[in-house]
Amino acid sequence: MTSSAEYDLECINVSKHFGSLRAVDDVSLKIPKGSFFSILGPSGCGKTTLMRMIAGFNDATAGDVKIKGKSVLNTPPNKRNVKMVFQHLALFPMMNVYENIAYGLRCNRVNKAETDRRIKDVLERIALPDVANREIHQLSGGQKQRIAIARCMVLDPDVLLLDEPLGALDLKLREAMKIELKLLQHQFNTTFVYITHDQSEALVMSDNVAIMNEGKFEQVGSPQELYHVPKTAFTAGFVGDTNRWSGRVVATDGETVKIETDTGLTLVCKRFGDTAPGDSASVSVFVRPEFIHAAWQATDVDGASGDLVNHMKGTVDSLLFNGANSRVLVRDGSGELIEADVTLTGGSDDIHPGQSVWLNWSQAHTMCFAS
């Protein structure tokens, strides 16, 4: 283990219990300097509670929170150098932009000239140099967002916490703000801890993501790892789109697991969590739509990787046309719908509803987890 000063933020076995409810249950994390870390989980998974403990608004039932290697458990929230962008931003409506940003500086007894200089500087960095004298209600949603970040960044925090700040924005603005947040993080080079239930926000912006469920971290890793090498059924199901079957293991050898699904399908999986599920264990099987190829005939061996292939026959139920992200819904023999990505060129060999097709996917892309 490396010395803890390299980490801007560490949580060591942190728990928070509300009565018998374990909102946060034995969570540990380490966030290296200057990285963008996301905590991704469904609502009610405890991610906001965890963030509030880091900010100091809730006390941890057990465990330790360290900022720059120093425990902050006995530091009140106003003395922690962790700033927070609230879900609804919590800009002060009775102050203008300048006053909002100056508030924190004045609390730290920064003199007038320095305050002016730092506010001017931070407004330039967020590319809103002329808004200092505007009232909060005169700003657009995206501008408010940036002011809320500026208000924190002007204080030069060790860690910036963001609690689903994009939730209130409309879709288009949200997409733009995702990129902007990532750029701002690069520019300020501060550690950002971002809380969200929106997987695309977490995957797009983060260096590392923690998947949180029922108060525990399911898995921590880079977005690619979480997507391609999930370690638990929850992660596999929560991150990205996926087809899911539940079934039972009928045979195992060292590398592969043979499964019969509840609908009577036989699949071979090559990928699973840390340990392969044992014989006759009940499992969940996940296959991402982009790895399923819809074709006119069955293939046994994948041309590129040489992997063995699972395949099944079905009837095209409908096409979900969305340009490059088009999907096809195929109904298999048992009546279940399976999603597969397809390329629709507009030519005569495109798939049409009602046709019967083969779905092929390699065993390496078939993931199964004990359930």
Partner 1 sequence: MQKDIKRLSLILLFMPFALWIVVLIALPHVGMVILSLQEKIAPRVYQYSLHNYIEFVNEPIYWNTLLRTGSISLLVTVLALLIGFPVAYYIAKIAGFRTRNGLFLLCLIPLWVSDLIRAFGWILLLRETGIVSGLLQWTGILGSPMEFLYNDAAVIVGLVYTVILFMIVPLVSTIDGMDNSMIEAGYNLGGNGFTVLRKIIIPYAMPGIVAGCIVVFMLTAGSYLTPILLGGKNSSWFTEQIYDQFITRYNWESGAAFGFLLLAFTSLVVWLGLKLSGQSLSSTVAKS
- Smallest distance from partner 1 to CB 85, Å: 9
83 close to 161: Cβ distance less than 8 angstroms? yes
Q: Which is nearer to partner 1, 99 or 207 (CB)?
A: 99
148 close to 85: Cβ distance less than 8 angstroms? yes
Token pair 């409309």 is found at 170
Alpha helices in the chain (DSSP H): 47-55, 97-107, 112-125, 141-153, 171-188, 199-205, 223-228, 233-238
Positions touching partner 1 (CB under 8 A) are: 55, 57, 76-79, 82-84, 86-88, 90, 92-95, 103-104, 107-108, 151-152, 155
Q: Which is nearer to partner 1, 79 or 137 (CB)?
A: 79
Q: Which is nearer to partner 1, 139 or 344 (CB)?
A: 139
Q: Is 278 helix (H, G, I), strand (E, B) or coil?
A: coil
Which residues are registered as beta bridge partners of 360? 293, 311
- Smallest distance from partner 1 to CB 212, Å: 21
48 DSSP 8-state letter: H
Q: Which is nearer to partner 1, 92 or 296 (CB)?
A: 92
Rounded CA gap, 261 and 244, in Å? 10
Q: Is 305 helix (H, G, I), strand (E, B) or coil?
A: coil
- Smallest distance from partner 1 to CB 92, Å: 6
367 DSSP 8-state letter: E
Would you put residue 269 in left (φ > 0), alpha (ψ -120 to 50) or beta?
beta
Would you put residue 61 in left (φ > 0), alpha (ψ -120 to 50) or beta?
alpha
Q: Which is nearer to partner 1, 167 or 353 (CB)?
A: 167
Q: Which is nearer to partner 1, 152 or 357 (CB)?
A: 152
Rounded to 10°, the helix 141-153/112-125 angle is 130
- Smallest distance from partner 1 to CB 97, Å: 14
- Smallest distance from partner 1 to CB 74, Å: 16
- Smallest distance from partner 1 to CB 48, Å: 11
Instruction: Report strand pairing: 309-320 vs 327-332.
Output: antiparallel
Q: Which is nearer to partner 1, 45 or 82 (CB)?
A: 82
Q: Which two tokens stand for residue 5?
A: 């000063």
Residue type, 337: L
Which residues are registered as beta bridge partners of 332? 314
Q: Which is nearer to partner 1, 160 or 236 (CB)?
A: 160
- Smallest distance from partner 1 to CB 21, Å: 17
